Chain A
Amino acid sequence: MRRVVITGVGVITPNGNSFDCFSDSLQKGLSGLDEVPAFKKAGFPCYIGGQVKHLQDTTLQKKFPTMSAVNDRKVCLGLQAFLEVSKYLPDNYNPCAIHLGTSLETFLLEKVFRMSPYEFNMDTYINNIQEHGENPYIEAPLDFLGNLISTALSLKGPNYLNCSACAASTQAIGHSFHMIRDGRYNMMICGGFDSMLNPLGIGGFSRLGALNMENDLKQKAICPFDIRRQGTILGEGAAIFILEEHEHALRHNRQIFAEISGYASTFDAFKLSEPDRGGKGIYAAMKQALSDAHLSNDTIDYINAHGTGTPTNDKVETIAIKNLFGQKAYSIPVSATKSMIGHLIGASGAVEIAAILAMFRDHFIAPTINLDKPDPECDLDYVPLTARMTTVNTVLKNSMGFGGQNASIVLKRYDPNPV
């Protein structure tokens, strides 16, 4: 069977604008969350967010002139991550496919009123578009980032865009792994990008009751697996990877960050807004991913949880882990990267996989910060508060999407000569 390895990573998150910075922040347990001044001033019910600082818009505009067709924060974040990962691209990368994950289109409210002030009128809007000429799209299609990357690299391969909410980028990476393992490609560019830090993003999630509104808690507003958890906090970011077939990577003398050995996706088929209370969907995804990797339960030495900090999600994920691993579940470290960066929705899986690569490289397990008072129903080893300096070799990563889509992926420390 063909092996699949990760040979490049680019990442931008609320607590680190590069892979090295991100790793450093994870080891120190640094939160990237803060008040978003504009949302605070505007009286939003939740104004804590994981905002990326110092995004170099001008540099990006110079490198990707056609990005002026969008005014979409998540595309900028994706391009920033792509710039970092592109350093790892070999001279000859074709044929190469793209598979990215994100959640939904960004709707430019500012533009709506710029083109049609006061009460919205469609004809006024179109007339003003005509008059003012070039403008960013009111909402850019989701495959726009892939098109920019494909054009920049003159790629000769497809541009896949998966939009399964919070599971989107884990699915994109997992599916890319299958595409290489099946012999369809030797190299793929994959990952995720997203930003919900816009009025409709924060507004929509607030109205759903999914966010913690206790703004006074500031960075502690998201506390996965803690008894006080009341909701998640939104963030933004992107992570993009180069995946390669193992022999191909060796032939080209590539740096190898990790190996992907298994992946599966499932549906809860339960309810729209909440996971199956018994965690059957994510349980099945984990079980099938291990089976796909030809690994037994006792090989997993760390689980990177979906861990959103919502009351139901953390409990359900804990139940699923216990059901799958039995008594051994209590000895497997499980941590929630979202405690430091917030919930990056469509980008969450990809950025959390970048966190796992950092843990492999720098020999640590990232903590679940803000876990001061563990929920008795969440009684696993969640690596509370501080990072653990140790070596992990085989990691399971979970993602659970709004709407009941789940994904689990198995990553291994790279071993050139596995038993």
Chain B
Amino acid sequence: MVCSLGYHLNTVVESILLNKTQFSKVPFKTEWFKDRQVALVSDANPRDIVDNSKSLRYMSREAQLAVSALILCMKDAGLYDSIPYDQNETALFSGTGSSGIQLDSISKFLSHAYHPETGQFDLERFGNQALYKINPLTSFQILPNMPPALSAIIADIKGANLVFNPWEGNALLAVYEALWEIHSNRAKLVFCGGSDCKTHSNAFITFYEYGLLTQSDVVMSEGSAFLAIEAPETGRYKDKDIYCVIRYMYHESYVDSRGYSHFHSPDVYDEMIRTTIMKSCLQPMDIDLVISSCDFTHLHDQEEERILKKYFSCPMISPKKNIGNTYAAAGIINMAVGAEILKNKHKVQGKEISRILITSFAPGSEKFCIILEKP
């Protein structure tokens, strides 16, 4: 995992549990958003992680983060340059964010794309001048399949693949589909993850237009996490230490025709939590920790907290409060945080944790409730 609090999972989780943050001012010139904060990955330099750092020049910031997170995941799982595994039977399912053209990176080209008198877009000037200012590498950087495609090249993964886009829930589909891929014996090992970079100017404009920046205190962020998922009976980890078991993953879809910024009826989330507990054959008291999908929208957070408190009296954390909202990567990062808490026995409010419920009710149509537990 790579996020604004670093790339050592153990220390990141410790920081989250100590409620640390590392936010800074927006990294571009703006009066409109000058009071907003961002969570930049500043202590985790992809060049320290990726062996072939020359290849980084082809990559967008998001792709750099994804490649870094995947390599860290593979190293952690003992699968990077050490233990041979069947590349053809290894799948890579991931979620990426809306790529966005970073306006700063195309400012030179924009300067040659408007009519000198009207200031409006001028196709002829674009064709004759601006076009030749486009860096060919930009094409590699804006395609939203590039984070996993580059990850596969660097990590030499050759099996099945899908790239979901662009929300938190779409990236969690990567995990959901990984479980089906393993269940159906189409893959033995699946790396699944998500990546996003929402700290640049175009992300702010886009999310402002979606209505996601107007009424909330969201800290736009960047990061990536990958998980290695295997079936216990077929996986290499039969006799080894594992992070956690995915006991249950409940998936529902709610498309809201009013747009992305509308909060669904609290009943929807109430029903999802109730069903998750019931279908996993557990009681609310069996849950030791809740990792919530808090998205800094006042209404959403209050309602989610109210519903969660109706069912659970255990501690609740929201990593987004510490590392900002990494959007497409946020759900996967929450899963990685949960997995680390279970594996390395981090105590939360002095208590050891055996079972965690993770919610993902963020913008986008795909919603999840996940239960992780100690093996």
Q: Check A119–B111 contact: CB distance below 8 A.
A: yes
Q: Check A403–B143 contact: CB distance below 8 A.
A: yes
B253 to chain A, nearest CB (A): 4
A125 CA to B208 CA, complexed, in Å:
11
Q: Which residues in chain B, 74-124, are within 8 Å of chain A measured between CB atoms?
A: 87-88, 92, 96, 98-101, 103, 107, 110-111, 113-114, 118-121, 123-124
Interface string of A328-370 (1 = CB under 8 A from B): 0000000000000000000000000000000000000000000
Residues of A within 8 A of B164 (CB): 160-163
Report which of A39, A122, A162 forms a contact with B29, defined as CB distance below 8 A: A122
Q: Which residues in chain A, 165-180, are within 8 Å of chain B measured between CB atoms?
A: 165, 168, 171, 175, 178-179
Q: Check B120–A123 contact: CB distance below 8 A.
A: no
Q: Check A199–B153 contact: CB distance below 8 A.
A: no
A105 to chain B, nearest CB (A): 6
Residues of A within 8 A of B96 (CB): 163
Residue of B nearest to A171 (CB): B162
Q: A42-B124, A113-B119, A205-B139 are in contact. Are A164 and B161 (CB under 8 A)?
A: yes
- Please indicate which of the listed interface residues A114, A205, A272 has the most CB atoms of chain B within 10 Å of its own CB: A272
Q: Check B166–A143 contact: CB distance below 8 A.
A: yes
Q: Check A44–B127 contact: CB distance below 8 A.
A: yes
Q: Check B58–A269 contact: CB distance below 8 A.
A: no
* Residue B152 interfacial (CB < 8 Å): yes
Residues of B within 8 A of A184 (CB): 180
* Residue A387 interfacial (CB < 8 Å): no
Q: Check A122–B205 contact: CB distance below 8 A.
A: yes
Q: A164-B161, A204-B138, A269-B157 are in contact. Are A105 and B99 (CB under 8 A)?
A: yes
- Please indicate which of the listed interface residues B96, B155, B184, B205 has the most CB atoms of chain A within 10 Å of its own CB: B205
Residues of B within 8 A of A199 (CB): 123, 126-127, 131
A117 CA to B114 CA, complexed, in Å:
8
Residues of A within 8 A of B259 (CB): 69
B108 to chain A, nearest CB (A): 11
Residue of A nearest to B101 (CB): A107
Q: Which residues in chain A, 218-233, are within 8 Å of chain B measured between CB atoms?
A: none
Size category of the binding interface on chain B: 35 or more
Q: A150-B255, A163-B96 are in contact. Are A109 and B136 (CB under 8 A)?
A: no
A342 CA to B114 CA, complexed, in Å:
30
Q: Check A114–B146 contact: CB distance below 8 A.
A: no
Q: Check B184–A139 contact: CB distance below 8 A.
A: no
A204 CA to B106 CA, complexed, in Å:
12
Q: Check B365–A143 contact: CB distance below 8 A.
A: yes
The interface residues of chain A, by DSSP majority, are classed as: mixed
Residues of A within 8 A of B114 (CB): 113, 117-118
Residues of A within 8 A of B242 (CB): none
A214 to chain B, nearest CB (A): 17
Q: Check A271–B153 contact: CB distance below 8 A.
A: yes
Q: Check B257–A113 contact: CB distance below 8 A.
A: no
Q: A113-B113, A122-B205 are in contact. Are A104 and B142 (CB under 8 A)?
A: yes
Residues of A within 8 A of B145 (CB): 103, 163-165, 168, 401-403, 405
B214 to chain A, nearest CB (A): 10
A43 CA to B134 CA, complexed, in Å:
16
* Residue B260 interfacial (CB < 8 Å): yes
Q: A161-B170, A267-B161 are in contact. Are A104 and B144 (CB under 8 A)?
A: yes
B338 to chain A, nearest CB (A): 23
A125 CA to B209 CA, complexed, in Å:
11
* Residue B150 interfacial (CB < 8 Å): yes
Residue of A nearest to B120 (CB): A113
Residues of B within 8 A of A415 (CB): none
The interface residues of chain B, by DSSP majority, are classed as: mixed
Q: A158-B253, A199-B126, A405-B161 are in contact. Are A141 and B28 (CB under 8 A)?
A: no
Report which of B132, B143, B201, B260 forms a contact with A122, defined as CB distance below 8 A: B201
A143 to chain B, nearest CB (A): 7
Residues of A within 8 A of B31 (CB): 123
Report which of A38, A142, A179, A268 forms a contact with B166, defined as CB distance below 8 A: A142
A318 to chain B, nearest CB (A): 21
Q: Check A269–B152 contact: CB distance below 8 A.
A: yes
Q: Check B253–A159 contact: CB distance below 8 A.
A: yes
Q: Which residues in chain A, 374-419, are within 8 Å of chain B measured between CB atoms?
A: 401-405
Q: Check A207–B113 contact: CB distance below 8 A.
A: no
Residues of B within 8 A of A113 (CB): 113-114, 119-121
Residue of A nearest to B162 (CB): A162
A117 CA to B253 CA, complexed, in Å:
40
A122 CA to B205 CA, complexed, in Å:
8
Q: Check B165–A165 contact: CB distance below 8 A.
A: no
Interface string of A171-207 (1 = CB under 8 A from B): 1000100110010100000000000000110011111
A313 to chain B, nearest CB (A): 16
* Residue B366 interfacial (CB < 8 Å): yes
B329 to chain A, nearest CB (A): 16
Q: Check A207–B365 contact: CB distance below 8 A.
A: no
* Residue B167 interfacial (CB < 8 Å): yes
Q: Which residues in chain A, 147-165, are within 8 Å of chain B measured between CB atoms?
A: 147, 150-151, 155-165
Residues of B within 8 A of A206 (CB): 131
Q: Check B119–A118 contact: CB distance below 8 A.
A: yes
Q: Check B165–A120 contact: CB distance below 8 A.
A: no
A113 CA to B130 CA, complexed, in Å:
14
A120 CA to B260 CA, complexed, in Å:
26
Q: Check A272–B144 contact: CB distance below 8 A.
A: no
Report which of A118, A143, A271, A281 forms a contact with B165, defined as CB distance below 8 A: A143
Residues of A within 8 A of B138 (CB): 204, 207
* Residue A212 interfacial (CB < 8 Å): no
B63 to chain A, nearest CB (A): 10
Q: A122-B205, A161-B165 are in contact. Are A110 and B32 (CB under 8 A)?
A: no
State the 7 A-B residue pairs at the shortest beta-carbon distance, nearest first: A117-B119, A403-B149, A42-B127, A118-B119, A267-B152, A151-B257, A158-B253
Q: What are some 29 contacts across the A-B interface (CB < 8 A)?
A: A43-B127, A105-B98, A109-B121, A110-B120, A119-B111, A123-B30, A126-B32, A129-B208, A138-B202, A138-B205, A139-B100, A142-B98, A143-B165, A143-B166, A156-B253, A159-B253, A162-B162, A163-B143, A164-B161, A171-B161, A182-B184, A205-B139, A209-B136, A264-B160, A266-B161, A267-B92, A267-B153, A401-B145, A405-B145
Given contacts A105-B99, A165-B145, A204-B139, 19 further A-B contacts (CB under 8 A): A69-B259, A104-B143, A113-B119, A117-B114, A118-B114, A150-B255, A157-B253, A163-B163, A200-B134, A203-B126, A203-B131, A265-B161, A266-B160, A267-B157, A267-B159, A269-B157, A271-B153, A403-B146, A404-B152
